[in-house]
Structure 1
Amino acid sequence: MQIGNNQTQSYGYNQNVNVANKNDSSNSFNNYLEKEDLKNIKIINKNLISILEKNNAFSSLSKEEETLFRYVLEDDKISNDEIKNLTYEQMNKLNNIVNSVSQQVGGVALVNGIETFSMSNITNNNDFNKALFDTLKTIENDTYKLVFSLDLGGKLGYNNTSFNKVDIEQLKALEKEKYKDFENPQELMADYNNWQINDYEGFIKNLKNEYKLLSEDTIISSESRVLYKRYSQYVSDLETNYNKVINEPKYA
């Protein structure tokens, strides 16, 4: 319902290429997804509650949760104010039931606010997911939130759970084709065999530094520098939230 408005070697693509090449790698990855994963997908952007009802999505919820989720989704939108009032656990549960039904009907739900909605379980690391959710819910501008989410999602590589079915051989072929006319193409091509994050603290720290360097790079446009400065602040907030999450008491 709308109410208002040192290098860590444990993650990533080829760790020895420069920042620009890493951004190009993300673009290759995203271009591949656009060509291969988004073909003929049924878009669900209205009557979401009706679809959930037909597929018994509310049956596993408590009465309080069902009432809350119906209220949030009644206009097929999730506003910033509503997201702020949801806990990570509630958003994750809502995300799971919507995704489950989307898969049953062979589609994908694109409700307003999807960037925070989908990020609640973007990786298999619960601590990172929660920290990211807490970060995104504080970004008021929907456009800034969306473009940051998309950029971050690409950098997560195989850790992004929605990308698990990517054809690695086709990604390699895209890289080979892109750099076929370059000298030493092997040094430029993204290493898709080793695109995995094992140290999220290191990933966050390196990403913050990458954005900071880009924000100070006079070769790129002033508009881009402003954008990367904003990204750097978002990742700094993510780092703070991640440290809070990993230091929270864990209960069985």
Structure 2
Amino acid sequence: MQVSNNQEVNSYNHKVTKTQEVKTSPSTFDSLLEKQKEVPAKEEGKLIPILEKYNVFSDLSQSEEKKFREILADDTITLKELDTLSYAEAKNLFSHTYPKNLDKKEFDTLPIIKYDSHNQIHAMQLSLNMTYDESLNEAMYKTAREISSDEQRDSWFQNINHKLDNLHANRTTYVSEDYNSHIKNIDGGSFLSKMVNDFKFSYSQDFSDGTKMLLDSYTLLQKYYNNIENGKNELYA
């Protein structure tokens, strides 16, 4: 929203700018003028008209549509904007950033959505559909948001991707037989208990900074997962 000390009025079909008068001493008048600067309006992007053309917002509630339009108006998603959304809203936002069923030629013409913290938001976005366990996905999303260090977050995210791929390859008890090549069926609680215990043991052996970062990350992930699961149990108790 543009904020200004100026008020625009129309008189005899002419556009006139009326500046609010401020009583001040001559000695401070020049400095006050220097401070009267407009806050720039949010730059208009190219994505919204395309989403409108393909009725992407048609299945949203009015409140969600308003939020998503405001966020996507400049073809940019910021951490501050994501922090205003619940996990469910964030998941819905990212699923409405591009029209469905476009051919390659149409898809290639779409504007690229920019992230103000690219690595972090990218990890958060990927977490949304990482597994069929929504509690684990949400916990990963929150973990990626909380870890501010790119080094720690990237190390953990690469590690958990590798671990999930290995679970499928080894057909361990954490993955069911109807595994989809892109999304894993997984018992998040058992998986995280194993990861935390494994890294506790590894750190007791090597005391390396890298192992400590992974242990801290998985411990944080487990905390979020348990909080989410406990919340569900209380809701349905």
Shorter-chain TM band: 0.5 to 0.7
Q: Unmatched 5+ residue regions in structure 1?
A: 1-45, 160-167, 169-189
Residue 152 to residue 53, structure 1, CA distance change in 2 (3 Å): farther
Q: Summarize the Cα distance change of 1:52–1:230 in structure 2 as closer, same or farther, 3 Å threshold.
A: farther
Whether the 8 Å CA contact 1:80–1:140 is kept in 2: the answer is: no
Q: Is the 8 A contact 2:133 2:187 kept in 1?
A: no
Over aligned residues, Cα RMSD in angstroms? 3.3
Q: Which residue of 2 aligns with 1:21?
A: none
- Higher mean displacement: 119-128 or 51-60: 51-60
Match of 1:202 among 181, 190, 202: 190
- The answer to whether the aligner puts 1:191 opposite 2:170 as a matched pair is yes
Structure 1 residue 110, shift from structure 2 partner: 6.6
**Which amino acid is the alignment partner of residue 73 of structure 1?**
L
> Aligned ranges for residues 124-139 of structure 1 at < 5 Å?
124-139=132-147
Paired amino acid for 1:247: N
Cα separation, 1, equivalents of 2:219 and 2:89: 25
For 1:103 and 1:229, the matched residues in 2 are separated by 44
Deviation at 1:213, TM superposition (A): 4.1
Question: Residues 111 and 243 from structure 1, CA distance in 2 versus in 1: closer, same or farther, beyond 3 angstroms?
Answer: same
1:104 pairs, out of 102, 105, 111, with 102
- The count of aligned residue pairs is 171
Bigger relative contact order, structure 1 or 2, given CA contacts below 8 A and separation 6+? 1
Counterpart AA for 1:241: Y
Q: What is the deviation of 1:86? A: 1.5
Q: Aligned with 2:194: secondary structure?
A: helix
| Alpha-carbon distance between aligned partners in 2 of 1:110 and 1:142, rounded to the nearest angstrom | 20
Classify 1:193/1:137 alpha carbon distance in 2 versus 1 (closer, same or farther; 3 Å). Answer: closer
Q: Which has the higher strand share?
A: 2
Quick one: which amino acid aligns to residue 130 of structure 1? E
- How many angstroms apart in 1 are the aligned matches of 2:93 and 2:67? 10
Aligned to 2:211: 228
Aligned mates of 1:105, 1:147 — CA distance in 2 = 35
Give the fraction of aligned pairs with identical amino acids, expressed as a percent. Answer: 25
Match of 2:77, SS state, is coil
Q: Please, which of 141, 148, 152 is the counterpart of residue 140 of structure 1?
A: 148
1:241 to 224, 227, 233: 224
Is residue 153 of structure 2 the alignment partner of residue 154 of structure 1? no
Kindly provide the CA deviation profile for residues 82-115 of structure 1, in whole angstroms up to 9, marking residues without a partner as x: 222221110111122236x366355697742221
User: Could you tell me the TM-score, scaled by structure 1's length?
Assistant: 0.55
Larger Rg: 2
Task: Give, in whole Å, the separation in 1 of the partners of 2:193 and 2:146.
Answer: 20
Q: Distance in 1 between matches of 2:235 and 2:102?
A: 34
Structure 1 CA distance, aligned partners of 2:155 and 2:52?
Answer: 32
Rounded to whole Å, the distance in 2 between the matches of 1:119 and 1:146 is 13
Structure 2 residue matching 1:57: 3-state secondary structure: coil
Structure 1 residues 105 and 56: alpha-carbon distance in aligned structure 2, compared to 1, 3 A threshold = farther
